[in-house]
Structure 1
Amino acid sequence: MSAETPSTKKAEEKNDKRTQETSQKAPDRRLVQLNLHSAPAAVKNTIVSEKQPQKKQRSSSSDIETPSGALDVFNDLNKIQLSLQEIQQAMVNKNDVKELVTSIIAEVKSELKNELKQEILTEVKQTMKETLESEITEKVEKTLDKKIDIKAKDLEYTVKEVADGVNLELETLREKFVQQNRELRELKENLKQCQIMSGEALQLANHNHQYSQKNNIKFMGWKETKDEDLRSDLCTILRKKVGIELDPKDVLAIHRLPNGKLSGPRPVIAKFTSNEIKVKVIKKRSNEDLKKSFLMYDHITPRNAKLIRELKEDPRILSAWFYNGKIFALDKDNIRHKFDILDSVSDKVKH
């Protein structure tokens, strides 16, 4: 190899020294690429050259020895110097880096602040919502419990008052009921006594009524004539038909009854002076010749007439009749029974 000249060696050392200083002063290109949006306008407009200065191959000693070789080295040095100047211009100075970092930090802080603020607000809202819901629920529950207790106490007091009133009324009603039952029993007893007394009075009245008519005979089918004399006509008919000599004085009273709804001659009622005369006359009622003039019956009260009619209609009774102020009936067993107006066939006849 050819030996290097001292001037060439010196130039290379100088060039290496500059290159080393430049590499020490040159910032990491990654800083420039961090956030160009937040970089200053001077930095944004700066074009960083990615070209590296081309190093010329070392010339041999034969090339340097010529004057043209020294000129080439000088030109290369000038190019290197120009490239270094471009790099120096493209480099970001300390203040720009600081401003860039500050801007990035501020932006990161702002974003973090917004995110944290949003998260905090969300958590606070959620917490407040849950807290408020819990507090409201608790407060509402307490209020409702309090109102329910008040209403329950009021209702209990009202129910107690109503129950006391009802119990008092029930007690009053019970006393009234007992009193009314006592009065009702007394009224029933009085009614029973009244019924007994009224029955006895009715029987007695019917008996007295029938007794007052025991000397009477009722004549049916007796033809009416104008200006008739019933007493004289009765004495004449009895003398001619059945041979009974009857003094007109033996007839206390004789008259016709209102006909009512019946058609034909009105009935005649004759009252005799004694029951013996009445019996003597009525015994002839079955005489056929006398029946042509009239029919004779005992003058019985309406109640006794009704009783005889009911007895004759009863299937358990064969016949019923009136005799000497009393009513008799014959059942299917040919047993004779005496009846009064208040007697029942079921009580008398056992079948």
Structure 2
Amino acid sequence: MNEGAALHKIVYGAGGKAENYIIIDINKQYEKIIGLKKEDVAGKTSTEVYKVPVPPYLEEFTSVARDNKTFQFETYFAPMDKYFLISVFSFEADHFATIFFDITANKLAELEREKFIKELESKNAELERFTYTVSHDLKSPLITIKGFLGMLDSDMARGDEKRIKSDIKRIADAADKMAFLLDDLLELSRIGRIINPPKLFPLGELVSEVAELLSSTIAASRASIKTAGELPSVFGDRKRIFEVIQNLVENAIKFKRDDADPEIEIGAKSSGDSTIVYVRDNGIGIESKYFENVFGLFNKLNTSSAGTGIGLALVKRIAEVHGGKAWVESDGPGHGSVFYFSLPEIKKEEF
């Protein structure tokens, strides 16, 4: 017999209200599944046996014992960290029996399957959006090139040298835009496929390197960058984390306010089993309805801004590949933004 079984008796308090139940007897399979011997549980209340403040499922079990009902349910029993299928029936007034199966393995497999299906649905939806967006954004420079080729043909026929040079420049610009888009798409596709050896490294050192790389851009925009205290060491793909910080700093500079020089603060804090890194700016801010959109592929809230609109999609993807996530907070237009990404605090051998 694979099922565990136990006999119980309801314990009533003043006014006839059920307060607990006593375990009268158990079978060998109970001992095997629960890990407690008969002498550990017989004659003891449920709260004593399972070391919980409230008797588990007291209302349901009392209803069965009082009204001679039968009852079956699946449950996660936290004290044992297991899933059970439990059948309950009354064999005597104010008494009930439980017969249960440990379904933890099946339940975890089911939950993993559901998680996989949801992830697959999400990836399919992302692929559909990706396909539409790529076809749309790559079509734009192609239309420009085709249009100016027609104008170039006409201008060459007229011998208009000035217009010919202008046409060629517009065609070259459109071709460059397409090249930038393709390069960024290639970089996005590499994330998760091409993984650099993860290692523990000082985040402060990496931030200094990003600032050095962007020194001319920082100087030109009169931006200032500071760190909030001493930054911790983090574990991951250093090259990819570098790209995340670089993208977020460039984003902060790009979307500065007209009436203030960019002020950028980079910090980190521990939260549970994760390190949360943030980049705070005093820029134009973001309306809450766009918090999710900004991380979408090619999503640009300001279509006239420089870049392809892939930077924040890269940030999000890199964070996810590391087992974390990326998000943004802002008090709205004119109040700056704070971009966050999380990295699990895990040891090298667990990465």
Normalising to structure 1: TM-score of the pair? 0.23
Larger relative helix fraction: 1
Normalising to structure 2: TM-score of the pair? 0.23
Larger relative strand fraction: 2
Whichever of the two has the greater Rg, that structure is 1
